[in-house]
Amino acid sequence: MKVLASFLPLMASLFIIGLVIAIVLFLLKMTKNDLKSTEENMSKSLELMFLDVKLTVCKIEKGRTIDYTDGLFFVGNTDEELSIVCETDKTPEETLEREDGWTAFRVSGVLDFSLTGILAKLTKVLADRKIGVFAVSTYNTDYVLIKEKDQQAAEKALADAGYVIKHA
């Protein structure tokens, strides 16, 4: 009996430790599910602003001076190429390659850098409808270019997925 009595404090301590571990695991699981649910709900209620603009994606010669102060303009300069996205009527005359017929929408507002999966969820909705995209991110937000011919289908797909569609 004395031997059994000497193990009771140890067994009680182990029970309490097990209970604390179970509670911590439960709370972690709840927090993870709450965060996932919040992120899903937030992304579905995002406002997407469709821009009234015709865009061109093109490649230009490196070292070329370009005026990027007028209108919507994005630059990608790598060791392999200098690419720009600009309004079609402001496309430099001497491009190496170009593709016209794009338009765009942006995620409204300023996105915090800690947010994840926003662009992935948007592009998945469009990919499921066979709509190709060209994405560009800025410090504040994401822009998604789509072909003009796909705009109506893209708006419908995104609205059906719960996104709020607006027009500039």
- For 36, 88, 91, 112, 159, the CA distances from 73, given in Å and listed in that order, are 34, 10, 10, 22, 27
The pLDDT assigned to 114 comes to: 85
Sketch the domain layout of the chain as residue ranges.
Answer: 1-43, 45-167
pLDDT at 166 over 70: yes
More confident residue, 62 or 81: 81
Report the alpha-carbon distance of residue 150 to residue 105 in Å, rounded.
12
Residue 159 tokens read as 């609205």
pTM, two decimal places: 0.72
Q: Pairing between strand 97-107 and 55-60?
A: antiparallel
For 107-146, the DSSP string reads ESSPPPTT--SHHHHHHHHHHHTT---EEEE-SS-EEEEE
Report the alpha-carbon distance of residue 40 to residue 43 in Å, rounded.
5
Q: What are phi and psi of 131, to 5 degrees?
A: -105, 115
The pLDDT assigned to 19 comes to: 57
Calculate the average pLDDT of the chain.
84
Per-residue pLDDT band at 93 (split at 50, 70, 90):
confident
Alpha-carbon torsion, ordered 10, 12, 16, 17, to 10 deg: 20
Cβ neighbours around 135 below 10 Å, total: 12
CATH number for region 45-167: 3.30.2130.10
What's the whole-number mean pLDDT along residues 57-73? 86
Listed in sequence order, the residues at least 6 apart from 90 whose beta carbon sits closer than 8 Å to its beta carbon are 67, 70, 71, 73
* Positive or negative: CA dihedral 140, 142, 148, 153: negative
Per-residue pLDDT band at 29 (split at 50, 70, 90):
low
More confident residue, 68 or 148: 148
Residue 121 tokens read as 């969820």
